[in-house]
A and B are shown apart, each in its own frame.
Chain A
Amino acid sequence: MLPELSREEILRYSRHLLVPEIGLDGQRKLKGSSALIIGTGGLGSPAALYLAAAGVGHIGLVDYDAVEESNLQRQILHGTGAVGRRKVASARARLRDLNPAVHVDTFDEPFTSANAMRIAEPFDIIVDGSDNFPTRYLTNDLCVLTGKPNVYGAVFRFDGQASVFDARIGPCYRCLFPEPPPPGLVPSCADAGVLGILPGTIGTIQATEAIKLLLGIGSSLAGRLLLYNALDMSFEYVKLKKNPGCKVCGPHPEVTALIDYNEFCGVPGLEHDEGSAGKDWDITARELAAQLKSGKPIRLLDVREPHELAISHLEGAQNIPLGELAARLSELDSAQEIVLFCKTGSRSRRALELLVSAGFRKVRNLKGGINAWAKDVDTRLPVY
């Protein structure tokens, strides 16, 4: 039985009711349907806003972060006044204001193999707005194992991808990408940056696909991958096929229950400090400042991209971007003490691993990167 619409709802959704493909019955369908959105960041923001505005009756939001100033350039669910608040609380308040008729459930917890089944159980479809590979594989496997459509979107700088993975009728995410990329190879938005509007475009496409699936109208992106580039304003489509050897949706699946996705992707879990290389290899900004002041000869090696130096830089530091480091080792002296740094410490940690595997021993990682230096040593420098 589809739920009835109130007089207020009939007025609110008037422009939907006028569209023959939606109409009164379609709007009642939306009211009786549910969607779980993984992440309330760049993709989750427009997805949640449009699904709530459209009258999807039950919306779930999973996120385990607080709103940060650097989120506001793209995560339009959250306002300046929400900085420091839990993201799901901020999102819930915004959605309540947007459409009080929608029931919003929030999950302020990390989305993991331990809770994913419980969280996803009541929802018709899942919208993947996560920002990391372990959660993407988790979301995919969850959807395959429970027979729910996975409305996928992902972004990098100016490039976006979107699809609908529904293993009951077509390929899943693992059919397309059977193995995760080596850890650290694909930079995150925090390391590489992203055009703020880009996740808006892709998240809006995800919301469109979600609404179509819930209504049962149109042709979805199932079996197709959209490749969008904002600089070219190009939309390319790649026809996808189910991979008969797929480990989760193939005829002989190896994955029959949720696994440890951090291990699968070779990335450390939540307890790991992202900008740290481990205590034997780290140096804090304050320690580094003291050692430089004492006159200790230390070579500072900045592994950020050259355009980041205009934002902040350390006097006397040599710049070799992480991507060029392997080819430019001859410019470094392994006998000299080297301190590596980047924005937050994650790229420099990988640079450190590279140098250590090349035989360098007197290398350390500036924990927390130049941003930690800007907070703890030289507050004239901006944090970005």
Chain B
Amino acid sequence: MNRVKILLFATLRDYVGSKTIELEISAGTTIHGLTDLLAAKYPRLEKVRDSMMAAINREYAADEAVVPDGAEIAFFPPVSGG
């Protein structure tokens, strides 16, 4: 199992009810897989999952990117206010 820290921004904080989450995930989990886990745990993420973006250790990460052990994952949504 790998331990990761997840940072959430903007609306995602409301959907999850917290700004950080620590999670144990199996080795080889991708961003896509991690999003599945989160959406199952926090159903309000289901609707936004396709439009939110992820970064692994502060670097933009595609859906298929594998999450390394000890990584810090940031999820952020598009926001439009001005």
Contact = CB atoms under 8 A, between A and B. Distances in A.
Q: State which size class the interface on B falls in.
A: 20 to 34
B4 interface: no
Interface string A238-249: 111100000000
Interface stretch (A151-159, A250-258, A274-282): A151-159
A42 B82 contact: yes
A327 B44 CA distance: 10
Given A157-B10, A236-B7, A182 B81 contact: no
Interface string B1-44: 00000010111001100010000000000000000000000011
Nearest to B47: A185
Interface stretch (A10-18, A103-111, A186-194, A341-349): A186-194
B13 to A, nearest CB: 8
B64 to A, nearest CB: 13
B80 A241 contact: no
Contacts of B78: 133, 154, 177, 180-181, 186
Given A177-B51, A180-B51, A186-B11, A236 B58 contact: yes
Nearest to A203: B82
Contacts of A133: 78, 80
B54 to A, nearest CB: 9
Interface string B56-79: 001110000000000000101111
B74 A240 contact: no
Contact of A199 (B15, B74, B81): B81
Contacts of B81: 42, 131, 154-156, 188-189, 192, 194, 199
Nearest to A323: B44
Nearest to A153: B82
Contacts of A159: 9-10, 79
Chain A interface helix/strand/loop/mixed: mixed
A37 to B, nearest CB: 11
Nearest to B44: A323
A238 B59 contact: yes
A370 interface: no
Given A176-B53, A185-B51, A199 B77 contact: no
Contacts of B76: 161, 225, 227, 238
B82 A131 contact: yes
A181 B9 contact: no
Interface in A143-165: 153-157, 159, 161
12 contacts: A132-B82, A154-B80, A156-B79, A177-B53, A180-B78, A182-B51, A186-B51, A189-B82, A236-B58, A238-B76, A239-B55, A323-B44
Interface of B: 7, 9-11, 14-15, 19, 43-44, 47-48, 50-51, 53, 55, 58-60, 74, 76-82
Given A177-B53, A188-B81, A236-B58, 8 more contacts: A42-B81, A131-B80, A132-B80, A154-B80, A155-B79, A177-B51, A194-B81, A240-B60
